[in-house]
Each structure stands twice: as structure tokens, then as C-alpha cells.
Structure 1
Amino acid sequence: MSATPLTIRPYQPADEREWLLCRLLSFFDTCYYDDVHTVRTSFELPAIRLVADLNGQVVGLIDIEIDDSAATIDSIAVHPDHQRGGIASRLLAAAIDELPDHVTTLDAWTREDHAALNWYQLQGFREAYRYLHVYKDGDSTDAGFTAPPPLTPPVLAFSHASIEHETELRSQFDRVYVCRQFLREVSR
């Protein structure tokens, strides 16, 4: 029996478990390693949801939410065993083809993973904005963190900060990431 070629197709509810596993494994070696989903993202606004299917297995995914003339990539992921083979680019191209004609921009948010940063640039995205993602863990200082009595200061926290505070925050916290918005004009 010959192998079925890779197909890009709409997400189906039966894909959820493989979608979750593909996303989890794809994010495992990135700055987003703890952005674990136990259920698939649902959207209030219109969305494009595609998967890359190889022999009946989900090996890639892209979800794009549409808000009037702007669209945002919520998730894009390729299973580690299938990365660097053009699957993400094929998913992106297929999703752009499905965007309604009134959509003029597509954006995505990512952190400091060089492979992701390079990929977005190769796909025609440009950096439009940046700010910081800051994580406080149990070993980090409690300075500046409060909670109402009788609670103690948070043990874990995820916060945003202005990019101007990067040096100061990197000296206080182990996990500080530059979060970048990448933007691309949509042309057909």
C-alpha cells in the first residue's frame, strides 16, 4: 500500500486529541513550552482552522481568528518529526487563500525562538510591536506582588511589561521574553 500524500484540510472535531498532541510537541522546545492546552481553542469570532494530514495523522495545524479587516494567527504548529519540510508554509498559504476578501492584515505573536522569528520574516511578516512577558516562579522575588488578605503573595505569576524595563526585569526574573507582533499585509 502506498503512502498517502500530505493534505491540508479543515479541522474536524475528531482531530482534537491529535491537534493537542501536535501543538504540545511542537511547543515543547520553545519559549512557549508551558502554553499547554488540554482542550482545543474555541473562537467567538469567525476562524479558519486547518490541519496538515499525513497518512491520517495530524502533523501540523493553523488556526486564524478573523476580526473585521484584521486576522490573527492563534496557533501554528508542526509536529517535531515533520518540521523543516515546508508544512507550516503550506498551512499558511492555504489559510491565506481562505481569508475573506475584506481581510487586509494578518498578524501573529511570538517570543524569542529564532526559528519562529526567521520563519515569520521569510513569510513576509515584519515586526510591528514588542513588549515583555515576565514569569515569576517560586524562586523569584515577591517584591511588587501582593494579594488580598489572608492570601500570601502569588507563588507563580505571568505579567506583561513595557520593553523599556527589559534590563531591570531580566536582573530580577529568570524568565523574561520579548513578545513580538509580526504583521503582514494580505494581498491576493
Structure 2
Amino acid sequence: MTEIREYRDSDAGSWLRCRLLSFFSTEYFDDVVVERPAFENPAHRLVAVDGDIVVGLMDVEIFPDRATIAVLAIHPDHQRRGLATRLLDAVLPRLSVDVLDAWTRGDAAANDWYRRSGFAEEFRYLHVYKTWQDEGVVPPEGVDRVVTAFMHAPISAEAAMRERFGRVHVCRQYVRKL
């Protein structure tokens, strides 16, 4: 039976593997971290464990006016078994704010889960990646050329960004009133 509990320092390696493998087949495939990110604000850090192995994780950072799901990841071998919902159900009673939000890209399963879980899409913008193959980014003074860049753009510029750059993602904010 998979247990939902607070993250422990001894979970670090397993937490990283779970996050990496769960992101690998999504539009966040290159959002690789080599250590668990710290938060400036209070946070709830939950894990789903099978024995001592992290198979799911949810970190929720608490701000004065809202809480934000900073990361939600389910190991590919454990997806579609209700773990994301169990993690959400475990964190909701711990929240003392009126709004929970989350940001995601175009992964159909993630977007469907947020909608099924009572979230509504509230805002969109673009994540635009410039690679060495893409033209049209002016380097700052003192830089010969921009090889790689990660940029934000308004959703209204989607067609133009897709025409100029090979990798463009719609980033969606989902909000759930509590």
C-alpha cells in the first residue's frame, strides 16, 4: 500500500528520481534539478511512498494570499492510480488560504487532472525557447551571440513565436477556490 506522508531528508535521492522520471515524457522534460529546491515561504512537502521509494510528490508553497503547487510528480510506473488526487486530498486540509493555484504546460493528462480536481484555467502565457538553430534574438552588449534562451511572451504572440522558434509551450495557470 502506498503511504502519503511528509517528506524526509532521507527521501532526497528517491524524490529526485521520481521527479525526473515523471517529467521525462512531458513538455517539462528538461526541467532537471540536481537537488530538491528550497522555498522562501512556508511549504507543505508531501510524498507518496511505496516502502522507502518515493513514487509521487507534491510541494505546495504558501503565500499570504494563496498557495501554489510548486511541483506535482508521479513516477511513470505509478501513474493513473489516484496518487495525485491522494496527495491533493492530503494537502488541502493543511491550507489556510482561500486559493490554490498551479502552473502547467500542454500535457493532456495533467490538464485533465487539474480540471477534474476542481481547478479552472485562469491565465495563459508562452514559454519560448531559443536554441542555436533559431535566429532573431539580439544579444546584450558584450555577448557575441545567444546560443540558448528561455523567454516569456504573451499568449497573443503565439503564432509569431511559433513561426520564429522551434520550441514554444503554452503555460497555463489553474486556480481552485478553497
Query: Paired residue for 2:141?
Result: 148
CA contact (8 A) 2:129 2:149 kept: yes
Structure 1 counterpart SS, 2:115: helix
Query: Which residue among 91, 94, 107 is the counterpart of 1:95?
Result: 91
Shift of 1:69: 3.0
Rg comparison, structure with higher value: 1
| 1:15 aligned to which of 11, 18, 26 | 11
Task: Look up the match of 1:118.
Answer: 112
Q: Give the match's secondary structure for 2:145.
A: coil
* Whole-Å separation in 1 of the counterparts to 2:144 and 2:76: 40
Report the identity percentage.
Answer: 50
Q: Distance in 2 between matches of 1:89 and 1:118?
A: 12
**Equivalences, count:** 178
Aligned partners of 1:13 and 1:181: how far apart in 2?
30
Residue 99 of structure 1 deviates from its aligned partner by: 1.3
Cα shift at 1:55: 1.7
**Which secondary structure does the structure 2 equivalent of 1:118 belong to?**
helix
2:159 corresponds to 1:167:
yes
TM-score (norm 2): 0.98
Q: Distance in 1 between matches of 2:25 and 2:9?
A: 27
Using structure 1 for the length normalisation, give the TM-score: 0.93
Structure 1 segments (4+ residues) deviating >4 Å = none
RMSD value, Cα: 0.8
- What CA distance in whole angstroms lies between the structure 1 residues aligned with 2:132 and 2:10? 38
Q: Please list every run of 5 or more consecutive structure 1 residues that lacks an aligned counterpart in the other structure.
A: none
Q: Does 1:127 align with 2:121?
A: yes
Mark the runs of 5 or more structure 2 residues left unpaired by the alignment. Answer: none
